[in-house]
Amino acid sequence: MVEDDETYLIDLGFVSLRYPEQWQKAVTVKDIKKHAATDKFTLQFVSKDTNLFDLYFNEEKGNLLGTLKTKDGNTVLYIKTYKLENAGVELIAQQEALNVIIQGLISDYDFLVNERPEVEDDYSKTYEIKTDLVTLHYPEKWKSKATVNTEKNVVHFYNGKTPLFDLRFEECDGYLLGTYSGTPIYMVEYPVTKEEDIAMQQDVNTIIQNLSKDKNFVINQ
């Protein structure tokens, strides 16, 4: 998660999305219009001629991100990420900044990660990962695929032998997600290109959402 002064707002009328300010000129967001919570529309994030990801609002395409609850109604978000062939560091970072959007929705609004309104979804079921600091909750859907190694101050997540992300309970060069009883929790991402790896990486947001239910956790805003 980045600080407020490191993001800019994409105003859609009923909601504003956060995206890293450093990519504001490099990444074009197509269909910047004012919408209502119940409208069907698509936001496309493009870096020059490279498609990064599409956000679908109230259209069941791609993978479910979650439901945004507002006074004007529920908005269900879906995501399609594009494979980046021979991508450089910047393109990967621009695509991974989708996590900044999701974390902004969690901190700024009532956003239910991986849930549809009144529909039970596989992603809403989680399993526990015990650590010395706090118990983490990760989607049960990935339990048979994810390899999780815990150490004193770090939890490593893998899909098979592919590293996905680390959660570190100490200061480091990652995203500060928040603090738990005063201990910082950082996320360090690894470059991934396969659709399943990307989905498993993005589901760190399920961990964040469940941490947010604990009074000892303060999300970084």
pLDDT digits (tens, 9 = 90+) for 38-67: 889 999 999 998 999 999 999 988 889 999
Question: What pTM was computed for the model?
Answer: 0.59
pLDDT of residue 213: 87
Rounded average pLDDT over 138-156:
92
Rounded average pLDDT over 142-157:
93
Residue 1: pLDDT band by 50, 70, 90 thresholds? Answer: very low
Question: CA 202, CA 137: separation in Å to the nearest integer?
Answer: 14
Please return the burial class of 138, using the count of CB atoms within 10 Å of its CB with bins 0-12, 13-18 and 19+.
buried
Percent of the chain with pLDDT over 70: 94
pLDDT of residue 2: 47
pLDDT of residue 118: 56
Buried b (16+ CB within 10 A) or exposed e, 76-99: bbbbebbebeebeeebbebbbbbb
pLDDT of residue 120: 46
pLDDT digits (tens, 9 = 90+) for 20-44: 999 999 999 999 899 988 889 999 9
Per DSSP, what are the bridge partners of residue 13?
35
Residue 193: pLDDT band by 50, 70, 90 thresholds? Answer: confident
